[in-house]
């Protein structure tokens, strides 16, 4: 097994909706130093990235490291991977298409990779947490919002455009509360840090919970942490909020379990600190609503890494690029683009070398020699392919449609 040297160093940056955590690791992803600060992602990318860069500089001095091989960054919203810009993130006003990757790369003088924060937490959990050795699992982050990191066959699944796992915006009530994404009744509007804070405040002002009313009077505001404290103390209103949220989350997860058949489900994030009241409700719904074959050997557990899951996963994200000895902008594990289309103006031929590769691997065009191109003329050019396709369509009594761009087909 290939391992990276302990003398290499990486940076992991986990940008949350309300806080920011940074860590420095060695080549084995052991944390050498970490730091956290409150940070409101709604203050905009420039302010937040300045805080992140300052924390990296501080850790660089504390740990005594001159340079890093790369930095991984997680942000709480959809990311166009591997290019790095957030894409219309509901919780991050002002971040849409912002060049996080380029800005931090210049500021830190090191290559940078950016991904969704839930994905990097899933990577961290696989590296050092309860998911070690598990090839198919879901990591569900319950923070200000809700998201799901998906690992299938040992690889991250991001979907075609990088938005896979955005379960917080699955609708659970058509006539429900308006969500920041513009829809109504999303899961996040019923469970998550912001939703719990809103419902707890309403309950306190209505006099439904003396415990929450006292906390609101003392601090001037309520958070999900206050709900967790009240639930742990036996406050019936806080406990019902937790159970109701767990039921909603369990209903969504039951669908995912039936669809993906994972071997493990891990709950993490700040709201997962509600603990076993939440865990018991989620388990009850999933085990009851999913088929026995999918849940017969399915553990649903709490994360063991806490705040370190994100920074360790971010460091692993960029370390994998170094391990592959390629550009620090690797293609998504499940998002390899198709081979270049051959047009009638340029009908390229594909050597057997490409046919032997796994479908997700990418070979830059310049490594295909002219000799290889002439060795295996195993491609039907577009013009011939189109003629054959149109002939078959006519045999079925139909007229072929107009289409200028047909894929080549390796036979």
> What DSSP character marks residue 144?
S
Q: Which long-range contacts (CB under 8 A, 24 or more apart) does 24-27 make?
A: 24/56, 24/59, 24/60, 24/63, 24/65, 24/68, 25/311, 25/312, 25/315, 27/3, 27/319
Which has the closest alpha carbon to 317: 101, 35, 77? 101
Could you report the per-residue pLDDT of 92-137, keeping only the tens digit for each?
999 999 999 999 999 999 999 999 999 999 999 999 999 999 999 9
Element spanning 50, H or E: helix 45-63
Domain spanning 9-123+308-323: CATH 3.30.420.40: yes
**Rounded distance between C-alpha atoms, residue 177 and residue 186, angstroms:** 8
Side-by-side strand order, sheet with 137-142: 155-156, 146-152, 137-142, 264-268, 300-302
Give the bridge partners for 349, in sequence order. Answer: none
**Rounded distance between C-alpha atoms, residue 191 and residue 186, angstroms:** 9
Pick the CATH number of 133-302 from 3.30.420.40, 2.40.50.1070, 3.40.50.970, 3.30.9.10: 3.30.420.40
**Rounded distance between C-alpha atoms, residue 28 and residue 294, angstroms:** 34
Same fold flag, 9-123+308-323 and 133-302: yes
Could you report the per-residue pLDDT of 357-406, keeping only the tens digit for each?
332 333 333 333 434 434 434 433 444 445 555 565 566 555 555 544 33
**242: exposed, middle or buried (Cβ count in 10 Å: 0-12, 13-18, 19+):** buried
Sign of CA dihedral 314, 319, 321, 327: positive
Neighbours of 9 (CB within 10 A): 23
Out of 45-54, 109-118, 317-326, least confident range = 317-326
* SS3 (DSSP) at 25: strand
Contact (Cβ atoms closer than 8 angstroms) between residue 300 and residue 282: yes
| Chain mean pLDDT for the chain | 81
pLDDT value of position 271: 87
Could you report the per-residue pLDDT of 287-303, keeping only the tens digit for each?
999 999 999 999 999 99
pLDDT value of position 364: 37
Section 138-144 average pLDDT: 93
Q: What residues have CB less than 8 Å from 382, skipping those under 6 apart?
A: 342, 343, 344, 347, 406, 408
Residue with tokens 């796994």: 358
**Rounded distance between C-alpha atoms, residue 318 and residue 69, angstroms:** 8
Of 153 and 350, more confident: 153
| pLDDT bracket for residue 347 (50, 70, 90) | very low
Left, alpha or beta for 113 (phi > 0: left; psi -120 to 50: alpha)?
beta
Q: Determine the distance from the C-alpha atom of residue 343 to the mean position of all C-alpha atoms in its chain, rounded to a whole number.
A: 36
Element spanning 19, H or E: strand 19-26
pLDDT value of position 80: 85
* Domain ranges within the chain, ordered by starting residue: 9-123+308-323, 133-302, 352-410
Cis, bond preceding 6 (omega within 30 deg of 0): no
Section 75-81 average pLDDT: 88
Burial 205-225, CB ≥16 within 10 A → b, else e? eeeebebbbebbeeeeebbbb
pLDDT value of position 154: 92
């Amino acid at each position: 097994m290939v391992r990276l040297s302990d003398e290499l160093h990486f940076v992991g940056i986990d940008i949350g909706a309300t806080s920011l955590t940074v860590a420095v690791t060695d080549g084995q992803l052991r944390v050498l130093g970490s730091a956290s600060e409150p940070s409101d992602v709604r203050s905009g990318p420039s302010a937040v990235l300045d805080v992140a860069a300052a924390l990296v500089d501080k850790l660089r001095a504390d740990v005594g490291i001159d340079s890093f091989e790369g930095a991984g960054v997680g942000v709480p919203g959809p990311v166009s991977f591997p290019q790095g810009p957030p894409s219309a993130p509901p919780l991050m006003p002002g971040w849409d298409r912002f060049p996080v990757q380029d800005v931090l790369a210049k500021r830190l003088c090191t290559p940078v990779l950016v991904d969704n924060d839930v994905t990097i937490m899933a990577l961290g959990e696989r590296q050092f947490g309860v998911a070690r050795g598990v090839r198919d699992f879901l990591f569900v982050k319950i923070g200000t919002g809700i998201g799901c990191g998906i690992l299938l066959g040992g690889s991250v699944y991001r979907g075609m455009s990088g938005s896979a796992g955005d379960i917080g915006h699955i609708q659970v009530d058509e006539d429900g509360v308006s969500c920041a994404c513009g829809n109504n009744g999303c899961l996040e509007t019923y469970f998550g840090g912001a939703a719990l804070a809103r419902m707890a405040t309403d309950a306190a002002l209505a006099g439904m919970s003396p415990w929450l009313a006292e906390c609101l009077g003392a601090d001037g505001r309520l958070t999900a942490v206050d709900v967790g404290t009240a639930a742990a103390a036996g406050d019936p209103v806080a406990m019902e909020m937790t159970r109701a949220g767990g039921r909603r989350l369990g209903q969504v997860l039951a669908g995912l379990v039936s669809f993906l058949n994972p071997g493990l489900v891990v709950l993490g994030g700040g709201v997962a600190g509600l603990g076993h009241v939440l865990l018991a409700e989620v388990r009850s719904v999933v085990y009851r609503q999913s088929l026995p074959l999918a849940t017969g050997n399915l553990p649903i557990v709490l994360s063991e890494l806490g705040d370190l899951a994100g920074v360790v996963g971010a460091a692993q994200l960029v370390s994998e690029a170094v391990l592959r000895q390629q550009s620090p902008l690797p293609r998504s594990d499940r998002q390899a683009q198709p081979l270049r289309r051959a047009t009638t103006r340029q009908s390229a031929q594909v050597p057997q070398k490409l046919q032997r590769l796994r479908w997700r691997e990418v070979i830059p065009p310049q490594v295909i020699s002219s000799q290889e191109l002439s060795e295996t003329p195993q491609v039907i050019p577009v013009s011939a392919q189109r003629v054959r396709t149109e002939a078959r369509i006519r045999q079925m009594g139909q007229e072929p449609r107009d289409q200028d761009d047909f894929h080549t087909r390796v036979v």
